[in-house]
Structure 1
Amino acid sequence: MRIPCRATIGAVIVAVSAVASFDDECDRSGGNLLQSFAQARRAEKYAWQSGRGNFPNFAVAEANGPFNLSETLSWSWHHPKGRFHTLTWGTVLDHQLNVYLSAADGLRKFDVDGQLLWEHHTLPAILMNAPAIYQGSIFASDTLGGVRALSMSTGKLLWHSNLSMPIGEDNGFTMVHEGVVFTAAGWRDPSPMGPANHMVKALNASDGQILWTYEPDAPVWNFLPLFPDRDTFVFQDMTGRVYRLSLQGKLLWKAGGKPGTWTDGGAALGNGMVYAVNNNNPPKQLMFHSEHSPGTLSAYDLNGTLKWKITTPRPPNNAPAIGKVQGWSGLSVILPICKQVMQGATCEVQAYDANTGGLRWVFHGPKQTGPLQAGDFEGMVDRTTSGVRPACLPNGWSAPSISSDGTVFVGNENGPMFALRDADGDGRVVGNDEVSSFDAKAAFSGSASPAIGNNLLAVASCDTLFVFKG
């Protein structure tokens, strides 16, 4: 692509990634500008670009987070009227480790030491999803069917696109890739779980124009698109069926799933495969089953061929993470399993061999002690008076994240944030050398994937942002 010397700075910025050559005059006068801009973009590689981290190794950090959580809390934030006056969801980190937080009432930016830099309010539109940052902007969707882009530096609204249809109150992920914003929309009946998002929407990241709409065979829940390369993306619907589409919205393949079922879980990428989850029983049956209702974890290659599947002993109600973990060679699938909102039910985290599905280790988490998840009953009145939904009612676990040293970070519905590692490889995660925790006194939403920077961990419970520094 050739850029004329009269190109504006804005045009240069938009085109810089596609530049292959310049005319001689631009080589002399504009080349330095392009080179400086490209170098600046490389220097600004974000530490945790979306609610599930960075392309292509989603949910796996290039840095370590602090293991001893109880000793490394640096700062926290909750609504100034009190912790229950909003619901907090996903976190992302830029190249300076500034923290961006999505909450029911809007978006906020904090510096690495906890100073509030800006806030953008959205009520009566409620944010439910984790945001994403991309080329100087932050993107989020809301329950009134709006998708917006803000300046990362100032919080100023850059554009707002009204999809003319609501976006559901589940906890998904707004994602951006190669200039395209992805969101779920079309909240309506029917589905195995009542109202749900029936459509996937793609928007132009520069101006918010709708590019295309795709309707999968079953609605999506906690929508999580992931990108195996620069040209395609994958996601699963609520039944566990996996789809691979081009960035132009063309279906390449779909596979798996169990019709009539519902899961709070999502897909994961890694090891050259797509991993999907589903529950084995319909939602109405799940309501009357014990905490041991089984599910399925399935692994597909990038052509949609099933490579293996295993039965999980509890419902797989969140997205896995695929990465290298301590004490084990190769890659592992980290899967939280739990029947949430069930008093007395135990939640576990299981690790499987990413190539075979063989069980590697198990962490037995706490039981849900109250009739609702931690912090939900206590905050109903304050949330209602503040105009947000009265309860979080999240997944049993947050989405897990893996640091570069193989530590797994994941939050539990009963309040603890855990750092986990099977350092001795004995298949059990126990003891002070392998388990660290911090009591957040509230559950964690499914979109609350811990964001990992350089010796820093940022994660939101359902009411408070916590930042740990090593």
Structure 2
Amino acid sequence: MFVVGACLALGAWSTFAVAEEDCEAPSNILLQTAHQSRRDGEMMYHWPNGRGRFPYFAVSEHIGPFDLNNSLSWSWHHPEGRFHTLTWGVNIDHEMNVYLSAADGFRKFDMDGKLMWERIILPRTTMNTGAIYQGKFFASDTDGGVEAVDMKDGSRVWYTKLASAICEDNGFNMVHQGVLFAAADCSPPCNYDKTCNQLVKALNATTGKELWTYKPDTAVWNFLALFPDMETVVFQDMSGKVYKLTLNGDVIWKAGGLNGTWTDGGAALGPNGMVYAVNNNHPPEGLSPVGQMDPPTMPGQVTALDVVTGDIVWQVTTPRPPNNAPAVGKVQGWEGLSLVVPLCQQVIKGAQCDVHVYNAKTGALRWVFHGPTQKHLLQAGDAEGTQTRIDSGVRSWCLPNGWSAPTIAADGVVFVGNEDGLFFALRDSDGDGRAIGVDEVRAFDTKAAFSGSSSPALAPQMVAVASCDSLFVFKN
């Protein structure tokens, strides 16, 4: 049996037909949840969190332009030059205004690219993509603080110090039901690194008051909180272990992961009652965690868990590290839900970057896109702008993931940025198991890599994305 709009993957207003068995709940329950959230103010914006909006994370009910080279509407980089700041990710409000998170601060543009305000926070810097909620923009900084600013003029509403430092990874500040989530306490121990964020913090989004603190079994990296419903939150740690908590901070379950490992990746939430986690496997004896292979082929793993119980439903081994958060939705050429997983080991010359798309229900491989190989020792835009960034008071390198986080549009096109600087629109429209040729692959050269917290953001007839140094907006 097929139903229209029953799954959240393409939004409650989707015209795609989706197999009913791919849905966890009847469509009326999902619609009720979505409508309640809209009344509560979370869905008034097109792309409020760095990974979209509840309950459609990483997917959109809108369509973006497939022909990227002929649809660029406007772009922005620092007025003194591309490399004077690092840009992380975007949000889009109900009026199609675009909010840009950058190392030196935050900016708001109207839909045509006019700068409406900017808030420069130097010498503090930020590494995460912010969030918008009920008239405020939220972001954390590497000094260990989180602040809220007024979306109208960029003025500060409140600032809360959470720890002495927040690590220089690329995570997401996410808001749900009036609760703001952030990772904090940059300190040891940390798998393969000196310091990582040890704590997950929840704050009152209205007042900035700290509500609770949770210490996971392993530190978090590129922290991303997602929300299965109105009352709970899920996230993974750097080993791929998934945690489900209430919004009050009570642990419901924790499961999965591979102890002693580290991943740049994050979790994905499906409308089919599953949460998907990623992890890297242990490196071969004598090799570092980044593999040092030529080209690197160290495998990783994707795990699907039941979001209610935490039970593992399936696991698949990936040929390369799954180093960003996947996306779950309906893709062109295939029935039911798919899991889009970007694979790549960054910062290794000759590393191959692929996108693998799996059956979200079973883990069976559906199609593959073979992306670029890393051309240089550093990724696109990093070596060229090192000294300029140092002189500007921001981090010297972007050192991003191999891919941005992927986003699935309402027509099943996958938008994703690559470390070689290419922003891709992908589809396997003929269902032959590969995305290849001009009918299925389009690319726009941004000339810079994409941070792990960069996720293409969609609004009606528009897609916006931040590379490591610029903002690009494409329109149908």
For normalisation by structure 1, the TM-score amounts to 0.90
Contact 2:379 2:419 survives alignment (8 Å): yes
Q: Distance in 1 between matches of 2:281 and 2:40?
A: 45
Q: Distance in 2 between matches of 1:42 and 1:55?
A: 11
Shift of 1:287: 3.6
Match of 1:278 in 2: 279
Q: Distance in 1 between matches of 2:209 and 2:289?
A: 41
Measured against aligned partners, the alpha-carbon deviations of 1:52-92 in whole angstroms (never above 9, x if no partner) come to 00101100001001110000001100011100000000101
Match of 1:378 in 2: 384
Match of 2:91 in 1: 92
2:161 alignment partner AA: N
Measured against aligned partners, the alpha-carbon deviations of 1:134-170 in whole angstroms (never above 9, x if no partner) come to 1111100000011010111111110011113211100
Structure 1 segments of 4 or more deviating over 6 A?
38-44
Structure 1 residue 358 corresponds to structure 2 residue 364: yes
Shift of 1:233: 0.4
The residue matched to 2:288 in structure 1 has which SS? helix
Q: Distance in 2 between matches of 1:367 and 1:42?
A: 43
Match of 1:288 in 2: 292
- Alpha-carbon RMSD across the aligned residues, in angstroms, is 1.4
Moved more, 288-297 or 396-405: 288-297
The residue matched to 2:233 in structure 1 has which SS? strand
Contact 2:192 2:289 survives alignment (8 Å): no
Shift of 1:40: 9.2
Structure 1 residue 105 corresponds to structure 2 residue 107: no
Match of 2:203 in 1: 203
Match of 2:263 in 1: 263
Shift of 1:286: 3.2
Q: Distance in 2 between matches of 1:345 and 1:263?
A: 16
Q: How many residues align?
A: 433
Contact 1:44 1:94 survives alignment (8 Å): no
Structure 1 residue 170 corresponds to structure 2 residue 169: yes
Match of 1:53 in 2: 52
Measured against aligned partners, the alpha-carbon deviations of 1:412-460 in whole angstroms (never above 9, x if no partner) come to 0001000000000000101111111100000000110000111101000
Match of 1:457 in 2: 463
Q: Distance in 2 between matches of 1:39 and 1:60?
A: 17
Q: Distance in 2 between matches of 1:292 and 1:466?
A: 32
Of residues 350, 371, 393 in structure 2, which corresponds to 1:387?
A: 393
Contact 2:405 2:416 survives alignment (8 Å): yes
Q: Distance in 2 between matches of 1:277 and 1:43?
A: 27
Measured against aligned partners, the alpha-carbon deviations of 1:313-367 in whole angstroms (never above 9, x if no partner) come to 0001000000000000000000000011111111000100000000000000011
Contact 1:102 1:108 survives alignment (8 Å): yes
Contact 1:72 1:469 survives alignment (8 Å): yes
Q: Distance in 1 between matches of 2:74 and 2:192?
A: 38
Match of 2:229 in 1: 229
The residue matched to 1:84 in structure 2 has which SS? helix
Percentage of matched positions with identical amino acids? 61
Structure 2 unaligned residues grouped into runs of 5+: 1-36
Aligned ranges 1:40-439 → 2 under 5 Å: 45-194=44-193, 195-270=195-270, 271-282=272-283, 284-289=288-293, 290-302=295-307, 303-439=309-445
Shift of 1:113: 0.1
Q: Distance in 2 between matches of 1:211 and 1:170?
A: 23
Contact 2:291 2:298 survives alignment (8 Å): no
Q: Distance in 2 between matches of 1:314 and 1:164?
A: 35
Shift of 1:39: 9.7
Contact 2:41 2:134 survives alignment (8 Å): no
Pick the structure with greater CA Rg. Answer: 1
Q: Distance in 2 between matches of 1:460 and 1:192?
A: 29
For normalisation by structure 2, the TM-score amounts to 0.89
1:281 alignment partner AA: H
Q: Distance in 2 between matches of 1:41 and 1:190?
A: 39
Match of 1:14 in 2: none
The residue matched to 1:286 in structure 2 has which SS? coil
The residue matched to 2:84 in structure 1 has which SS? coil
1:153 alignment partner AA: K
2:297 alignment partner AA: H
Contact 2:42 2:176 survives alignment (8 Å): no
Shift of 1:122: 0.9
Q: Distance in 1 between matches of 2:109 and 2:415?
A: 22
2:298 alignment partner AA: S
Structure 1 unaligned residues grouped into runs of 5+: 1-37
Aligned ranges 1:440-451 → 2 under 5 Å: 440-451=446-457
The residue matched to 2:197 in structure 1 has which SS? strand
Match of 1:18 in 2: none
